[in-house]
Amino acid sequence: MAVEYKFGGRYKVIKGETYPIKRADLERALEEAGVTDLEEISYVSVKSASSKGDPVASIWMTGEAIIPGMWMKRSPSLIVSSIPVEVSQEIKELIEKENILGKMALWLRELEKAENVRRSQSQSFRIYYREGKLVIEATK
């Protein structure tokens, strides 16, 4: 069964950039992992300078107990970032070779099953392209 989520849209790509992940491929990975809890998927084309590298994709969820004394059910959101065309083929090949979509989906599935101790804190899974490699930073 396909995961239900809000589609936050697909920004018009900045000149010289493209999106590295197809929505259908992302949905397939989420379905294969059994992900059921996802708020939104968005495709965003915004130049952002980061010392960590070019952002490729990120997932974030605000903690369910981020406000002391209050609990609120939260679901993660996923953002696919545009990347420079000149490195797009290399990034797409790395995404496939390193099973990045599978890793993202597995992280989401683990978050769904996590105890309140983990879900009460803000969570994130970020992928950067830096010096010819994909770098993943994720909370556990």
Q: How far is CA 30 from the centre of its chain?
A: 11
Write out the E strands in the chain.
Answer: 6-10, 17-18, 40-44, 54-61, 77-81, 83-84, 123-130, 133-138
Answer for the pair 61, 99: CB distance below 8 angstroms, yes or no: no
Q: Kindly report, residue by residue over 66-124, the tens digit of the pLDDT.
A: 666 666 678 899 999 999 999 999 999 999 999 999 999 999 999 888 877 676 788 89
The pTM of this model reads 0.88
Which distant-in-sequence residues (6+ apart) come within 8 Å of 27 by Cβ? 2, 3
Domain map (residue ranges) of the chain? 6-138
